[in-house]
Amino acid sequence: MSDSSSDENGSEWIFYRKRPEWDDVTPVPQEEGPRPVVSIAYGSKFKDVYDYMRAVLKCGEVSERALVLTQDALRQNPANYTVWQYRRHILKNLGKNLVEELDYIGEVIECNPKNYQVWHHRMAIVEMLNDSTGELEFIEKMLSLDPKNYHAWKHRQWVLIKFGLFENELEYTHQLLEDDVRNNSAWNQRYFVINFVSDFDEKIVHQEIEYALNAILKVSKNESAWNYLRGLLIHVDAGLLEPKVVSVCEHLYAQGNKSLHLLAYLVDMAVEKLQVERYEPSEETNLLLDRAKKICKELAETYDKVRRKYWLYVLKAIETKANFIL
């Protein structure tokens, strides 16, 4: 293979071993032992860059050339955590402009949006700056490309907590859900915000129950909204028997809605009502249990055949529990 090639910008690449300014450095090859089982076929450029990267790491050099070397190493492998850590070490000790580093890491993230190490580097730089200016806007840009990017959401949550920027976050999640009501990441973020800001204050929880129900009425087969609703109901005294929720579910069922999530809720609702009236089940409860058994059979045989064994198990559990109580 030739000792020269083109870099990403189209200019001629000169190997480090051919650069006069690096003549004072002895490259350190990767140690694979005397009998490597499976040697990785690294490209000549990769090998050259990392041989010099190991040499710099070994002597602890902090210099402009070492900083450039980290950038070349990260072009070859942007997931190398050690190189990112060393780059931060150099930036700090040289007193480099960290705002410029944010621009750099922003470009890297755009090319590697689901790389943990690049997001961690951005977090570290923002923390060193202790300034969140433009950070939420950058994350929004990345989420517009992929609304379910876990690393972007994780970084966003850190920024919100670190700098106390929760004020407009519910509105942001609302806009995302207006665009895609099935965006599970946006529902998760909404739950995160409610938890952190209000610690599930009763008034807020009831407002969010209304919000979730409205979403369910729009798209009843949206599992994300149902999961959000169930998460909220943990924090109300009535639980699954919350009157407003029961009313909406009964309305949907009466209209012939066969959403799996609705049917599963009706089954759980009947079981919870039986738990509440465990010693003296009312006639209404017995009717709900009969309906729950019917729904379990329908789910097993028609609407959710993939989980047939599960629904038959639930049916048997309901029958056993009801017979024991009655």
Q: What is the CATH number of the domain that holds 74?
A: 1.25.40
- Paired tokens of 160: 């919100």
Nearest to 286 by CA among 321, 262, 251, 238: 321
Range of the domain at 37: 9-95
**CB neighbourhood size of 71 (10 A):** 13
Instruction: Determine, yes or no, domain membership for 137.
Output: no
The conformation of residue 302, written as its DSSP 8-state character, comes to: I
Angle between helices 202-218 and 184-198 (to 10 degrees): 170
User: What amino acid positions are annotated as catalytic residues?
Assistant: 114
Q: What pLDDT sits at residue 4?
A: 47
- For 263-298, b where at least 16 C-beta lie within 10 A, e where not — what string? bbbbbebbbbbbeeeeeebeeebbebbeebbebbee
Helix/strand/coil for 4: strand
Question: How many CB atoms within 10 Å of residue 160?
Answer: 22
Query: So what's the pLDDT on residue 12?
Result: 86
Residue 264 near residue 286, CB atoms below 8 Å:
no
- Answer with the one of 30, 62, 95 that is the final residue of a domain: 95
Domain boundary pick from 60, 95, 130 = 95
Whole-number pLDDT of residue 32: 77
Residue 77 within any structural domain of the chain: yes
Last residue of a domain, one of 95, 129, 154: 95
Helix axes 150-163, 184-198, angle to 10 degrees: 20
User: Does a structural domain hold residue 19?
Assistant: yes
Q: What is the mean pLDDT of each run of 10 residues along the chain (326 residues)?
A: 52 92 95 77 92 97 98 97 98 98 98 97 98 97 96 98 97 97 97 95 96 98 97 97 97 97 97 83 89 97 96 93 62
Task: Give residue 98's pLDDT.
Answer: 98
Give the model's pLDDT for residue 3: 46
Query: Is the residue at 192 inside a domain?
Result: no
In a domain, 208, yes or no: no
The answer to whether residue 106 sits within a structural domain is: no
Token pair 């071993």 is found at: 17
CB atoms within 10 A of CB 77: 13
Q: Is residue 279 part of a domain?
A: yes
| Count: domains in the chain | 2
In a domain, 39, yes or no: yes
| Token digits of residue 132 | 């969140």
Sorted by sequence, the CB contacts under 8 Å of residue 132 that are 6+ apart come out as 126, 159, 162, 163, 165
Those residues whose C-beta lies under 8 Å from the C-beta of residue 67, and which sit 6 or more positions away, are: 87, 90, 91, 94, 96
* DSSP structure string for 8-32: TTSSEEE-GGG-GGGTT--------
